[in-house]
Amino acid sequence: MPKSRSRLTRRGIVLLAALPLLVALVVVVVARQLGESDCTVEVGTRSVDLDQDQAERASLAVAKVVRASGSARSAAKAVTSSTGLVGPAATVVGGALSGRDRGALFCRYGGGGSESDKLNVAGLTHRAAAVRTDMAKHFGSLPLGGFAPGGVNSGHMVGSAHYEGRAIDAFFRPITKANKQDGWALAQYLVANADRLALATVIFDGQIWTARRAGQGWRPYAVSHRNRSTKTIKILEHRDHVHVDVAD
């Protein structure tokens, strides 16, 4: 047999042997893409999938209800009018975005490319400043902190995005049922808009969502209790404030 034909035959055998593996990989990737929605709301045994546009539109609509101290029914109606979802689906989404169901809504996208580290007069990067403006627009005047003219250099955990002007804290004090509901309304609104706002992290009430592990949804966020007062633990676990930071 000529050498050229022999080499061709061996190559053909290798390709044929690898073909099933390649096909399997393609099937897995396609199945994963088809099976994953952009966002999910889970309350008990009920689960509602949303695409990114639906999540953003619903969050904006329900934010108006929250700002007006509207009812659960009003939140569900806002979901229906903004997304077309009806019945139990609208109720589930409305319950999450109004803060009545904690850690119920999560999205799989967020973050973004790098941006300038230049701070504005308030001590925030361009993206963080945009988040501050967005929160004020949709939730009104909120008590905010975690930033200062020229930047902050103390008062936060080592490596905190606050030191880079990429983070904002929105306070919901004292810790009450009503304030927790309002805090969750903001926290889940932020996650629903994480892609648009290029968010990296949202933390509230002992739960954390990150763009890097977005597919895992909300996860427990705990700190060591050793040698710490109850008040300090509550602050570090973000029981009384929503922390949000943007991609760097």
* pLDDT over 90 (residue 28): no
**pLDDT at residue 30, rounded to an integer:** 37
Q: Are residues 236 and 228 in contact, defined by beta-carbon separation less than 8 angstroms? A: yes
The mean pLDDT of 167-177, rounded to a whole number, is 97
Mean pLDDT of the chain: 88
**pLDDT at residue 230, rounded to an integer:** 87
**pLDDT at residue 35, rounded to an integer:** 54
* pLDDT over 70 (residue 32): no
Q: Is the dihedral of CA 119, 122, 124, 129 positive or negative?
A: negative
**pLDDT at residue 121, rounded to an integer:** 97
**pLDDT at residue 194, rounded to an integer:** 98
For the stretch 98-122, pLDDT in tens is 999 999 999 999 999 999 889 999 9
Q: 157 falls in which pLDDT band (50, 70, 90)? A: confident
Q: 154 falls in which pLDDT band (50, 70, 90)? A: very high
121 Cβ contact list (under 8 Å, min separation 6) = 149
pTM here?
Answer: 0.84
**H or E element at residue 218:** none
Distance separating alpha carbons of residues 83 and 120, to the nearest angstrom: 36
